Amino acid sequence: MSTQKQKQTEESSEETAIETETSSHQQRRLDEKAARKADREAQRQAAEESLDDEETVKLKVFRFDPEVPEKEEPRFDTFVVPFHKGMTVLDALIYARDHYDSSLTFRHSCQQAICGSDALFVNGRQRLGCKTQLADLDGPVRIEPLPHAEVVKDLVVDMEHFYDQMEAVEPFFDADELPDDELEEQRQDRQNREKIKMSTRCIWCGACMSSCNIAAGDNEYLGPAAINKAYRFAMDEREGEDRKEERMRIVEQEHGVWRCQTQFSCTEVCPKDIPLTEHIQELKREAVKNNLKFW
């Protein structure tokens, strides 16, 4: 055999060896993955069987992961979790994630209705997971991401648009005049505080926006949360008349208060009981009053 031919034969057998090693490596990984999956399933079944004597609740949870080919088709997974008095939807999701499927994805933080991160669509209605008692729901409990928002993964939705709308109303205190002494408090009288009290309770959860038909059809509509935020500052007498005028200009725009059709869905779902529709109506009245001309 010539030297060149011998070299070619050696190279080709080296390539074959590498290919064989790669494919056996891939096969090993696939086998390990399948074994892990089977293990998880067995653990899950064992855990479910051990729950037989306990009171349990069945969850049907929306699943979707655009980054994993076999999970990019939306589906519902069923989890059976032990139930105890005082248990919330969020507690049940945490149990399912920690005991059955660590890839189950949802947002949460404070677990006491303050951070606003776990607004979900539970049994056909926007609710905070940590504030919703399982005992108050009919089973199986169906848990989905907030409607009218893009799903990032499982129960997590993209909140960017909601934050943009909040940002659009300049959601910060901005008085026309500041006290001479910078350490002096800007006091608010009791009546004025009472007027804006409920509007300050917003936790930016997005439940109201998700429930609003108008927001679903008009992407530019400021939405109930942003208008409520505008109300909170427009009605704060410490900001002064000039700033109030600017704030009214923002809410009177084409996609502002006049788009609201007083359907009350936002008010019904708000977990902080903010009278959103009432605030929107009051801003409409204020806008009419400001625009009336007397000849």
Could you say which of 104, 168, 198, 207 contacts ligand SF4 (CB under 6 A)? Answer: 207
Q: Which residue lies nearer to ligand FES by CB, 223 or 271?
A: 271
Least separation in angstroms between residue 118's CB and ligand SF4 is 11
117 binds, among ligand FES, ligand SF4, none (CB under 5 to 8 A by kind): ligand FES
Q: Do 120 and 143 form a contact (C-beta atoms < 8 A)?
A: yes
Could you say which of 46, 68, 110, 135 contacts ligand FES (CB under 6 A)? Answer: 110
Q: Specify burial of residue 248 (Cβ count, 10 A radius: 0-12, 13-18, 19+).
A: buried
Least separation in angstroms between residue 92's CB and ligand FES is 13
Least separation in angstroms between residue 235's CB and ligand FES is 25
Of 220, 221, 234, 219, give the one whose Cα is nearest residue 283.
234
**Three-state secondary structure call for residue 151:** strand
- Residue ranges of the alpha helices (H) in 116-257? 160-168, 190-196, 207-211, 213-217, 224-234, 241-252
Q: Do 47 and 100 form a contact (C-beta atoms < 8 A)?
A: yes
Tell whether residue 145 is a contact of ligand FES (CB under 6 A): no
DSSP code for 56: E
Taking the C-alpha atoms of residue 79 and residue 90, their distance in angstroms, rounded to an integer, is 13
The binding track of 184-203 with respect to ligand SF4, each residue x by CB under 6 A or -, is: ------------------xx
Could you say which of 47, 115, 175, 196 contacts ligand FES (CB under 6 A)? Answer: 115
Q: Do 108 and 118 form a contact (C-beta atoms < 8 A)?
A: yes
Tell whether residue 30 is a contact of ligand FES (CB under 6 A): no
Taking the C-alpha atoms of residue 37 and residue 108, their distance in angstroms, rounded to an integer, is 27
Least separation in angstroms between residue 145's CB and ligand SF4 is 15
Q: Which of the stretches 53-61, 181-189, 251-259, 265-273 binds ligand SF4 when contact is defined by CB under 6 A?
A: 265-273
- The footprint of ligand FES (CB under 6 A) covers 108-111, 113-118, 128-130
- The footprint of ligand SF4 (CB under 6 A) covers 202-208, 224-225, 228, 270-272, 274, 276
